[in-house]
Amino acid sequence: MSTEGRRHDRDRGDHLWVVEEAADVVRPEPRVTLPEDAADTDRWGRSEEVVRRVGPAVDFLYDRWFRTEVEGLDKIPAGGALLVSNHAGALPPDAVQIMWAIRRELDRRVYMMGEHVFGRLPVAGWMFRRIGGVEADPSTARKLLGEEGQLGLVFPEGTKGTGKHWSERYRLQRFGRGGFVRVAMDAGVPIVPVAVLGAEEAMPIFGRLDGLAGMLGLPYVPVTSMVWLPVKFRIRVLDPIDVHLGHSDDHTQQMVSEDVRAVIQRTLIDLLAQRRSVIWG
C-alpha cells in the first residue's frame, strides 16, 4: 500500500492531500502480546469470572431456597429484547432469579438496567456491574439491545416497588412515565413482560424509618425480616409486545406502559390464585 501523499490542485479537488490509509503513514505502535487474563470483563464491565464464582450461591438460592419455577422462556426472542418485570422485597431477589433462569435454560446473558444511583455505591456498585448491571440510558440500550442483540431487564416500579409496605403486596406501583417504552422503541426491540411471584414475601417490609432514610440519603430504611424467607418463586414470561411502531410521542409511550403494567398485574393475580402455600407453592 502506498504511503506517498499527493497534493491536489486546491482549485479543482476536494482533497488537499490523498492518503490511502492514515494508519499506515504513522510509525507503527509497539505490538504486545496480552496475557489471557488481561481483562476478564466485556465492554460493559460484566465479568463471566465473577458470575461463575457467585454461581454456587445463586444455584443454592434458585434450586433449594426459593425452588424457582419458570414458564414461557420460549417466548423470549432470539435477538435483543427488553424484559420488564414487577419488583418487590426490601432486598429484592427477583432480578437474580430471572437472570439465573435465563442463563441456565437459554444460556443467554441478561443485563440489568438500573438507576444511576448504583454506580455511586462502593462495592455494591462494583458488584452490580460485574454481574451484568448497566445504567438504564437510551444510548446504552441502543447499543446493548439494538446492536448487540442482548437481553436487558428493567423494573419500572423502581424503589416504589421494593419499598412498599406488606399491606400493598401484589399491587404493582406506578410505572413512572414509561421511560422503558422509549428505551425499547429507540433500541428497536420488543418488550417482554415478566411476572414474578415470591419476591413480595421473600423480605417483606412491615414498616419504614423515613426519618433515618432521609438522614442517610437512602430511598428507604425498612423494618424487615433481615434475611430472605424460603418462599416459593414462580416466574412467568409473557408474550412479547412489539413497540417498533414508529410512534414515539409521550401519549403512545404512556399507553404502552400502562398495557405492560396491566398484563403483569393480571398475571400476578393469576399466579396468586393458583398458589396454595407461600412456602410450598
Partner 1 sequence: MADVVLTDPDMGVGALVVDALQRLGIEIARSDAPAPAGQSAAAEVWLERLDEARTGGLVVNHCRLRAGGLSRRSLEMAERVLAAASRCETLHRVVVVSSGQVYGSGAELPTFVTEGHAPTERPGASATDIADLESAAARFAAARPDVSLTVLRVAETVGTAPHGLLADHVLQPGGFVTTRFGYDPQVQFVTAHAVAAAIVHALTEDVAGVYNFAPADAMPLSAAIRLVGRTRVPMLRTVSLVGGILRRMEPWSHELGELLTFGRALDPQRAVDAGFPEPSSAAAAIAAAVY
Chain contacts with partner 1 (rule: CB under 8 A): 3-5, 7, 10, 14-19, 21-23, 25-32, 34-35, 38-41, 43-45, 116-120, 122-123, 125-126, 129, 134-135, 137, 139-140, 143
Of how many residues is the chain composed?
A: 281
Q: What is the rounded distance in angstroms from the CA atom of residue 255 to the CA atom of residue 78?
A: 26
The C-alpha atoms of residue 244 and residue 3 are separated, in whole angstroms, by: 46
Residue 256: strand pairing partners: none
Helix 179-187 vs helix 250-274: crossing angle, to nearest 10:
110
Return d(Cα 228, Cα 88) in angstroms, integer.
12
Q: What is the nearest approach in angstroms of partner 1 to the Cβ of residue 21? A: 7
Query: HSE-up of 265 (CA within 13 Å, CB side)?
Result: 15
By beta-carbon proximity to partner 1, the closer residue of 121 and 279 is 121
Which of 113, 100, 73, 111 is CA-nearest to residue 239? 73
Residue number with CB closer to partner 1 (22 or 227): 22
Q: Report how far residue 82's alpha carbon sits from residue 134's, in angstroms, rounded to the nearest whole number.
A: 13
Q: Residue 269 CB, nearest distance to partner 1 (Å)?
A: 36
Closest contact distance (angstroms) between CB of 208 and partner 1 is: 24
List C-alpha distances in Å: 181 to 6, 82, 235, 242: 52, 9, 22, 10
Nearer to partner 1, 34 or 273 (CB): 34
- Of the pair 39, 57, the CB lying nearest partner 1 is at 39
HSE-CB for 203 with a 13 A CA cutoff: 18
| Rounded least distance, CB 101 to partner 1, Å | 25
In the complex, what is the shortest distance from the CB of residue 218 to partner 1, in angstroms, rounded to a whole number? 14
Least Å from the CB of residue 170 to partner 1: 33
Q: 29 or 74, CB closer to partner 1?
A: 29
CB of 227 to partner 1, least distance (A): 24
Which residues, 6 or more positions from 21, have their beta carbon under 8 angstroms from its beta carbon?
1, 3
For partner 1, the closer CB: 38 or 78: 38
Q: Is the Cβ of residue 19 or residue 229 nearer to partner 1 in the bound state?
A: 19
